[in-house]
């Protein structure tokens, strides 16, 4: 009877992806509970292990125990592998294994890859996965080389190389995990141009999306870019530039962050504080000491996040771009959303509004529940923490380590929803898309 039951259960692509991420998370949690995973040889409680594993697979970076001091090299390596799997997607790794052993990629697996990579069709998907893997390992290798020039003198040859590889993977996958210790992140390297610019560049590269980089790489031959790439690149540049200018204006006189820094340090920290919230989680200044304006700007940048088909989270730059241009089109009296002299279909606009609304609902709902369970925590800290979890950022004002058991579970679920994607979670909970042919009479409602 049990076998027949499981045979009758048919999962669609999004449900398989959601279940796959959950399996990877629980596997990682079990490995992290082992005594060999901690630096003192004792077993870590399952909730903290589950929290760390979820944060790694969801490439968030929120931690309840210090990564640099609590975990052994075995534990750190498990976290690093979970970050890589979570950043690239377990389907990319499954495809890599299949290619290595010479297994043929079936149609069902191609459909899963299409959903995982946000591809428009299944044509050339295996080639795209190969490109993703080669591109990822090449960029991470280059990042590790640059970081090694700074970490090897500080930590020695073996430790310096390990730290370089770990931070390169963590930055490219927009994870935000660091091994510096004592929850300090990169605050000790605020004036180090090599580390700040290398980590920042890896964050941007990982957050743009593999399809975008493929188009940019082939631009000389094709001489054209898709509308998606134009919107993603434009929004990314806009957010970095505006974020840098505003962050510099908000923080350069703040004694808790940038006041005592050199101009170079202030500039680097402003750029990094604009880049990292989308959605890496590293910080070169104390987040808890930032001005209220700086914290609020960080929340906005975290919620927007990176780009579709990338290692980043959030509602995505393209979604924010569509919403912005829809508002502009409405103000201009246009009947359609127009971007770069192209019309956006109503379905895509509706999807953008759905993603944003579901995201806001998750953030507001979890914040409201935490305001009840986390006695004494301010609304500012709670909203910051939940937005960081949903957008898989990893920045915190110091609340993560103080969360109750219920609070940790809520943040775990929020990170999972944020990584899998609001629409994916919504679709995974339904059996299939409804194709309702019935059209009801139209009637007007007053708006605004």
Is 434 part of a structural domain of the chain? no
Is 441 part of a structural domain of the chain? no
pLDDT grade, residue 3 (50/70/90)? very low
Strand partners, 207: none
140-150 per-position pLDDT tens digit: 999 999 999 99
13-52 per-position pLDDT tens digit: 566 667 777 888 999 999 999 999 999 999 999 999 999 9
Is 136 part of a structural domain of the chain? yes
Is 160 part of a structural domain of the chain? yes
Average pLDDT rounded to a whole number, residues 196-221: 86
- Answer yes or no: is pLDDT of 7 > 60: no
293-349 per-position pLDDT tens digit: 999 999 999 999 988 877 788 888 989 999 999 999 888 888 888 888 888 888 888
At 96 the pLDDT is 54
pLDDT grade, residue 442 (50/70/90)? confident
DSSP 86-123: HHH-HHHHHHHHHHHTTPPPPHHHHHHHHHHHT-SSST
User: When comparing pLDDT for 109 and 352, which is higher?
Assistant: 352
Q: Which domain holds residue 282?
A: 7-428
Instruction: Report how many domains make up the chain.
Output: 1
DSSP 1: -
Is 91 part of a structural domain of the chain? yes
At 141 the pLDDT is 95
216-254 per-position pLDDT tens digit: 888 777 778 888 889 999 999 999 999 999 999 999 999
Would you call 46 exposed, middle or buried from its count of C-beta atoms within 10 A (0-12, 13-18, 19+)? middle
- Answer yes or no: is pLDDT of 366 > 90: yes
Is 439 part of a structural domain of the chain? no
Is 268 part of a structural domain of the chain? yes
DSSP 54: H
Is 442 part of a structural domain of the chain? no
């Amino acid at each position: 009877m049990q076998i027949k039951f499981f045979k009758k259960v048919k999962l669609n692509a999004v449900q398989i992806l959601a279940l796959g991420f959950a399996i990877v998370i629980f596997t990682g949690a079990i490995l992290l509970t082992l005594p060999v995973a901690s630096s003192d040889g004792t077993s870590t409680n399952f909730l903290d292990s589950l929290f760390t594993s979820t944060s790694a697979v969801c490439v968030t970076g929120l931690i309840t125990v210090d990564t640099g001091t609590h975990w052994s090299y075995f534990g750190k390596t498990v976290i690093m592998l979970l970050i890589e799997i979570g950043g690239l997607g377990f389907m990319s790794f499954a495809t890599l294994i299949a290619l290595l052993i010479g297994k043929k990629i079936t149609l069902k697996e191609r459909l899963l890859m299409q959903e995982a990579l946000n591809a428009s069709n299944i044509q050339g998907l295996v080639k795209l996965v190969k490109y993703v893997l080669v591109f990822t390992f090449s960029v991470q290798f280059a990042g590790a080389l640059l970081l090694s020039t700074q970490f090897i003198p500080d930590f020695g040859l073996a430790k310096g190389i390990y730290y370089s590889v770990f931070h390169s993977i963590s930055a490219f996958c927009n994870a935000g995990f660091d091994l510096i210790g004592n929850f300090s992140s990169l605050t000790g390297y605020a004036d180090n141009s090599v580390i700040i610019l290398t980590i920042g560049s890896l964050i941007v590269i990982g957050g743009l999306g593999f399809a975008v980089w493929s188009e940019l790489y082939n631009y000389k031959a094709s001489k054209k870019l898709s509308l998606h790439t134009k919107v993603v690149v434009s929004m990314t540049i806009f957010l970095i530039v505006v974020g840098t200018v505003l962050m510099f204006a908000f923080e350069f006189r703040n004694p808790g962050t940038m006041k005592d820094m050199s101009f170079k340090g202030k500039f680097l920290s402003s750029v990094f504080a604009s880049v990292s919230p989308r959605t890496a989680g590293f910080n070169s200044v104390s987040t808890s000491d930032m001005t209220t304006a700086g914290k609020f700007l960080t929340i906005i940048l975290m919620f927007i996040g990176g780009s579709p088909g990338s290692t980043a989270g959030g509602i995505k730059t393209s979604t924010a771009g569509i919403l912005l241009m829809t508002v502009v089109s409405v103000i201009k009296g246009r009947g359609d959303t127009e971007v770069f002299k192209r019309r956006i279909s109503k379905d895509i606009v509706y999807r953008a509004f759905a993603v944003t609304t579901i995201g806001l609902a998750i953030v507001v709902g979890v914040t409201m529940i935490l305001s009840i369970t986390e006695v004494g925590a301010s609304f500012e800290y709670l909203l910051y923490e939940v937005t960081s979890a949903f957008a898989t950022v990893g920045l915190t004002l110091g609340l993560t380590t103080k969360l109750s058991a219920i609070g940790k579970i809520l943040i775990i679920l929020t990170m999972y929803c944020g990584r899998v994607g609001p629409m994916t979670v919504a679709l995974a909970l339904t059996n299939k898309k409804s194709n309702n042919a019935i059209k009801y009479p139209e009637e007007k409602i007053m708006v605004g």
